[in-house]
Chains A and B, each alone.
Chain A
Amino acid sequence: NAGVIQTPRHKVTGKGQEATLWCEPISGHSAVFWYRQTIVQGLEFLTYFRNQAPIDDSGMPKERFSAQMPNQSHSTLKIQSTQPQDSAVYLCASSPGGGANTGQLYFGEGSKLTVL
């Protein structure tokens, strides 16, 4: 089991450029979550999908951020017109669903985004 795979591990963009982050969840997991981590704000929830359907995007900034899950094997987080305040580590996590699921999240190693 390879775990949750996130690419790229590091991305540097200039202000105003677009950034796309990729996540491959653990095979068989039905839920995929995106979090953002900074020193100041800690771990902030962004959005999540269950069985590829968007369930809760209440943490997503309304402008410039979008997430998709086109198939069960990957999800993307896209940030348009990146700003320095978008600099953070973006963490993807997956979780098995149903049954005796505890809600445990399995995190990837994160994508560190730096906006210059």
Chain B
Amino acid sequence: SQWGEENLQALSIQEGEDVTMNCSYKTYTTVVHWYRQDSGRGPALIILIRSNEREKRSGRLRATLDTSSQSSSLSITAAQCEDTAVYFCATDQGSALGRLHFGAGTQLIVIP
């Protein structure tokens, strides 16, 4: 299996809190993508981090990548209700133009 975590995880936090979601993978990747999926919609890329980067920021999002432990994290600072969604990490198993392999995802619920 590609993933350390096999099942959809669920997190529930209060608005304004910080949250971190983790992802571990078992096969080399050139990049880790993080997607969010809103109910009834397709996943949409929110941030990606390449294998030669340790950290990437975009607004309230921060992604980290540790290639030695084959793990990545996505943090959201001061979560808002509109951050409620399912978040997936995805890897390319070394093929930058091929398919992506998605983890099980984390259901994040931000409570007002």
Interface residues of A (CB under 8 A from B): 4, 31, 33, 35, 39, 42-43, 45, 48, 50, 55-56, 91, 93, 95, 97-98, 101-110
The answer on a CB contact under 8 Å between B99 and A45 is yes
Total residue contacts A-B, CB cutoff 8 A? 62
Question: Assuming A102-B31, A107-B42, what are 14 further A-B pairs, CB within 8 angstroms?
Answer: A33-B99, A33-B100, A42-B105, A43-B43, A48-B98, A56-B99, A91-B42, A103-B92, A103-B96, A105-B45, A105-B100, A107-B43, A109-B40, A110-B42
The answer on a CB contact under 8 Å between B101 and A103 is no
20 A-B pairs within 8 Å (CB atoms) are namely A31-B97, A42-B103, A43-B43, A48-B99, A56-B98, A91-B43, A95-B97, A97-B97, A98-B97, A102-B48, A103-B100, A104-B48, A105-B35, A105-B43, A105-B100, A106-B45, A109-B40, A109-B41, A110-B41, A110-B42
Quick one: closest B residue to A93, CB to CB? B42
Which residues of chain B are near A50, meaning CB under 8 Å? 97
Minimum-distance CB pairs A-B, first 7? A107-B42, A43-B102, A45-B99, A42-B104, A104-B45, A107-B43, A103-B96
